[in-house]
Amino acid sequence: MHSDRYTLISADCHAGGNHEMYREHLDAKYLDDFDRWRAKYSNPFKDLQAGRRTQNWDDDRRIAELEADGVVGEVVFPNTIPPFFPTGAVIARPPEPDEYELRLAGIRAHNRWLAQWCSAHAERRAGIGQIFLNDVADAIDDVRWCHEHGLRGGVLLQPVPDDMKHIKPLYAPDYDPLWRVCEELGVVVNTHSGGAGMPDYGPYPAAGLLWITETTFFSRRPLAHLLLSGVFERFPGLRFVLTEQGASWIPALLAQLDGFTKQARKTGRIGELKYDADRMLPLLPSEYFARNCWVGVSFPSPVEAATRQQIGVERFMWGSDYPHDESTFPNTREGLRRAFSDTPEGELRRLLAGNAAEVYGFDLDALAPIAARVGPTVDELREPYQGIPEGNRSPAFARP
């Protein structure tokens, strides 16, 4: 259905329940543990949440704010702190062996809450369930549960910190049964920026600055790990999405990996390191990327928006990052005008909704009546925008 308005599906939004909501979805055997944990819990993000907490779960508020921003569909990553977690779901490192049972109960409570919450507005929401990699059999059970309960956003894959030796690295073949189930069920495997894959920096004065400096590096590692370990060769139907990690770095990485591959094929070496022919994959890393990977580009700057031509227009999905402080909300229209004012209409429709609909199963016909009412117009997004909206702290308006 053609319209003079765009349909906006944000490939990066966040939601979660509060503690009482999660308690209702927790296995009964863990309720006493939960009450003890909750009594000692201190919210590390309390200073950032004044007047904003209910954006995570309040249907009326959330839908009203998203519609006012022109957004009619959302891919939903976790945001709040599930039971037994030390911090936010996309920041917390994977569980240690002695905390695995309780942390697993916590993400399962979140997944139950999320499935119920998304079902109330199923045409608008593609929820992403959480899994842990500590136990592959448990992870497979959780993938199946998420699929059976309508979480069509797929699952969130945590990077594995190098100092957590009890969890295999992502390039280990031990995860093949997990990838196989995701491929067979059509479950999307997602990664998201955050601290899950980072080392423990310890109690040193520089720890905080090192964390923020290196978080992008550790968040991006899964792409190379899966490309080079042959995961996409063994599972050609697997779909992998990298979200809120930018986009401008991807062409350079793919060129580097392709260069290594070509050199090893031709000479059997990369520098002084020998590579046997039977260890080389039949396709180039960039070819696996073009077949198996997508990028959820939250609040893209003009430079990042331009990289869509290198990574592939059909691989690029726009996101607003609502309700985070760095989101373009409530100035998404201005952000889109800054990044995409010169983009052809047909191409922009793919970037803003079409690609996300294909990857995550949104029904564009079902969303069309809402978009016809609240979506930004074609003429509106053709008007260039410069400057920073008053009160908005999104990097979308500061980056070149």
49 pLDDT tier (thresholds 50, 70, 90): low
Long-range contacts of 60-65 (CB under 8 A, 24+ apart): 62/15, 62/323, 63/121, 63/124, 65/322, 65/323, 65/329, 65/330
Q: pLDDT for 153-175, tens place per residue?
A: 999 999 999 999 999 999 999 99
Q: Which residue has the tokens 């770095």?
A: 249
- What value, to the nearest 5°, has the Cα angle with vertex 232 and ends 227 and 235? 155
Gap between the Cα atoms of 199 and 152, Å rounded: 31
The pLDDT value given to residue 379? 98
Contact 328, 276 (CB under 8 A): no
Q: pLDDT for 297-318, tens place per residue?
A: 999 999 999 999 999 999 999 9
Lowest mean pLDDT among 81-90, 106-115, 228-237: 81-90
Domains of the chain from N-terminus onward: 9-397 (3.20.20.140)
The pLDDT value given to residue 46? 66
Query: What is the average per-residue pLDDT within 278-283?
Result: 89
Name the helix (H) or strand (E) containing 294. strand 293-298
Residue 1 has pLDDT above 50, yes or no: no
Which two structure tokens, joined as six digits, stand for 14? 């966040």
CB-CB neighbours of 44 under 10 Å: 12
Q: pLDDT for 202-229, tens place per residue?
A: 999 999 999 989 999 999 999 999 999 9
293 pLDDT tier (thresholds 50, 70, 90): very high
Query: What is the average per-residue pLDDT within 336-345?
Result: 98
Residue 48 has pLDDT above 90, yes or no: no
Residue 2 has pLDDT above 60, yes or no: no
Residue 176, φ and ψ in degrees, nearest 5 = -55, -40
Amino acid at 274: K
Global pTM exceeds 0.75 = yes
The pLDDT value given to residue 272? 84
Residue 45 has pLDDT above 70, yes or no: no
Query: What is the average per-residue pLDDT within 75-100?
Result: 95
- In the DSSP assignment, the letter for residue 205 is T
The pLDDT value given to residue 178? 99
Gap between the Cα atoms of 366 and 202, Å rounded: 50
Q: Round the average pLDDT of the chain to a whole number and report it.
A: 95
Pairing outcome for strands 269-270 and 273-274: antiparallel
